[in-house]
Amino acid sequence: MGVGAYAQDGSDSGLSGEIRLGLITPLSGDVAQYGEENLAATNLAVDDFNKYLADKDAGWSIELTIEDSQTLPTAALEKIQSLRAKGISIVLGPWSSASLQNVKGYADSNEMLLFSCCSTSPLIAISGDSVFRMSPDDSNQGTAISKLFDDAGIEVMVPVWREDAWGTGLQDASRLSFESRGGIVDDGLGYNPEVSEFSVEASILADTVQGYVNDHGADKVGVLYVGFGEVLLFMQAASDYEVLGDVRWFGSDANTKESKLVEDSIGLGFVTDTSYTTVQVASGKNDLSQYVDSSLNESIGRIPSTYASSAYDMMWLMGLTIEREQSTDVAVLTAAIPEVAEEYVGALGSSRLNDAGDLAQTNYDVWDIRDGSWTLAGTYFSATDTIALEGTMMKDGLTGEVEVGSILPLTGRLSKHGEENWVASVLATVDFNKYLADKGATWTLSATVEDSQTSPTVALEKLQTLHAKNIKIVLGPETSSNLQNMKGYADSNGILLFSCCSTSPLLAISGDTIFRMAPDDTNQGTALSKIFTEAGIEAVVPVWREDAW
């Protein structure tokens, strides 16, 4: 059984029997493949969560009432009305943005809570409502897609999209981002989501692309396709035009791992010729995501998309929130979900939500098709706006032993923490070198450890000693006072410092070569002030040691 990381204290009381939740997912229609994954992952999460409750003798369990949205916004509205008539006010879903947008008004009017695994339209990113999404909104995906175009040397983007809340929102986001990078974006071609024959659209697209190819060259033109399961029908129509097979094609999360594209001979030929590349929100790449993937591979016969992890985490977050609050009251749960999400680490990794109630993490995996199979090609990192391709994650050029420095308080007031960090660093070095060996790397990592004695002056002396040995990468120092005293020397000599534990806001400086594996204390200050206010304290008398920290 897979269980995410979450600290739950207190004892259960107040709930009993079966707690009924609704699930609205597309079991038929254009995205039935994803609906199947969504159902399987949610059922897996319900089974695991109920086992978790049984182990705690909680006295209650989760039961799902499942409805098929048919990939139709109108059907989704009918299904949510059906759930409400059954007394169900907490709904997992709908899956798509178009369906979610269509049911939101009804849900708001009837005080229902909606938690979608996979909706991403920026149009639904609204603070303060009762809609949560276990995916980031597409303003982020648009940036990742535009980076794909930019890194591929594409000068002209020609978008094609289904005209619904999701398709329009994503192509708009991609357009704006690519234009901000200096790219050219055609007006593009939107199509009716209910269309199932694309000969006219393919002809129009071919004429448009041909014009840009004449002016820029085929290698400088790319097509962005934003659609659902109709992607195969569209590409089959596009394959009739040579020019459409001469340019690069890119796609979105909704077509990542689309099995029809590799099972159909025409589709496979087209995606191969066009080096079709897509993005999808990055998985946690942890034990829990592997558990979800392997479990669904057994139940549905294939490795699922990352949205299976979204569905799994969505269900666990809802269950944990109900458990913590011992309530199914929509207002109570709406207020509590962000707090539970802040602590829960699931198959996606961090489940922290932003102010709009959407997944905060915005990294995306890059996928393409090689030798007839979907293959993870790399990862887009939003913090640095970079794509690290799998083949280039580890560049050639290093051999032998690579030495870094480590400055820790092995003596002095913080020697206890210094000892802990030294042991952790040794363990990390051993594990990292095993990782390198498994990848066939020709180098290993070693660390030269120096004792700061919990003294800023000694810490600076130790940094100078390491620099004299030509070591310019230093793990440490641990304290903000030591780090502050070393910063000037490090800056002047091009030394990179990576502190595990320094937290002073005075050292939160953008663009320098200091990194810290701890949040700065503006955050801790907020937490401390909350403790005072919740305790009813009106006046605070601070006492502090006068150093950077």
**Which residue stretches of 326-388 are H helix?**
330-343
Report how far Cα 333 is from the mean position of its chain's Cα atoms: 23
| Local structure of residue 130 (DSSP, 8 states) | S
pLDDT tens digits, one per residue of 345-373: 999 999 999 999 999 988 999 999 999 99
Tokens read off for 3? 């269980």
Q: Which amino acid is at 96?
A: S
Q: What is the pLDDT of residue 394?
A: 45
Residue range 373-384: average pLDDT? 92
Q: What DSSP element (H or E) covers 156?
A: strand 156-162
Tokens read off for 125? 């990113």
Q: What is the pLDDT of residue 517?
A: 92
Q: Is 433 helix (H, G, I), strand (E, B) or coil?
A: helix
Residue 392 pLDDT more than 60?
no
CA 46 → CA 242, 313, 321, distances in Å? Answer: 49, 10, 14
- CB atoms closer than 10 angstroms to residue 532: 12
C-beta separation of 320 from 34 below 8 A: no
Q: What is the C-alpha radius of gyration for the chain, rounded to an integer number of angstroms? A: 26
Q: What is the 3-state secondary structure (H, E, C) of 259-311?
A: HHHHHCHHHHHHHHHCCCEEEEECCCCCHHHHHHHHHHHHHHCCCCCCHHHHH
Tokens read off for 77? 């509205």
Q: What is the pLDDT of residue 3?
A: 57
Residues 430, 154: Cα–Cα separation, whole Å: 42
Report how far Cα 424 is from the mean position of its chain's Cα atoms: 27
Residue 80 CB-half CA count within 13 A: 30
State the helix-helix crossing angle for 138-151 and 165-180, rounded to 10 degrees: 50
pLDDT tens digits, one per residue of 222-240: 999 999 999 999 999 999 9
Band of pLDDT at residue 8, cut at 50, 70 and 90: low
Residues 468, 482: Cα–Cα separation, whole Å: 19
Count Cβ atoms within 10 A of the Cβ of residue 488 and give its class: 0-12 exposed, 13-18 middle, 19 or more buried.
exposed
Dihedral, 23, 82, 109, 105 alpha carbons, nearest 10: 70
- Of 213, 166, 216, 156, nearest in space to 187 by CA: 156
Mean pLDDT across the chain: 92
b/e code 11-41 from CB counts within 10 Å (16+ = b) = ebeebeeebbbbbbbbbebbbbbbbbbbbbb
Residue 129 CB-half CA count within 13 A: 21
Band of pLDDT at residue 94, cut at 50, 70 and 90: very high
pLDDT tens digits, one per residue of 465-520: 999 999 999 998 989 999 999 999 999 999 999 999 999 999 999 889 999 999 99
What's the pTM value of the predicted model, to 2 decimals? 0.74
Residue 11 pLDDT more than 80?
no
CA 418 → CA 10, 409, 466, 471, 475, distances in Å? Answer: 33, 5, 18, 21, 12
Residues 202, 207: Cα–Cα separation, whole Å: 9
Report how far Cα 303 is from the mean position of its chain's Cα atoms: 18
Least confident of 77-91, 144-158, 407-421: 407-421
Q: What DSSP element (H or E) covers 4?
A: none
CA 166 → CA 283, 436, 523, 545, distances in Å? Answer: 21, 41, 35, 53
pLDDT tens digits, one per residue of 194-224: 899 999 999 999 999 999 999 999 999 999 9
Tokens read off for 246? 């001469």
Band of pLDDT at residue 393, cut at 50, 70 and 90: very low
Residues 452, 241: Cα–Cα separation, whole Å: 68
Q: Which amino acid is at 291?
A: Y
Q: What DSSP element (H or E) covers 154?
A: none
- CB atoms closer than 10 angstroms to residue 412: 14
- Of 288, 283, 346, nearest in space to 317 by CA: 346
pLDDT tens digits, one per residue of 261-277: 999 999 999 999 999 99
Q: Is 344 helix (H, G, I), strand (E, B) or coil?
A: coil
Residue 442 bridge partners (DSSP): none
| Local structure of residue 27 (DSSP, 8 states) | S
Residues 63, 81: Cα–Cα separation, whole Å: 18
* Greatest pairwise CA separation for the chain in angstroms: 77
CA 350 → CA 317, 335, 341, 359, distances in Å? Answer: 12, 19, 8, 9
Vertex 73 angle, CA 72 and 78, to 5°? 95
Percent of the chain with pLDDT over 70: 96
Q: Is 416 helix (H, G, I), strand (E, B) or coil?
A: helix
Which domains does the chain show, CATH number per domain? 17-135+284-358 (3.40.50.2300), 138-282+365-380 (3.40.50.2300), 394-524 (3.40.50.2300)
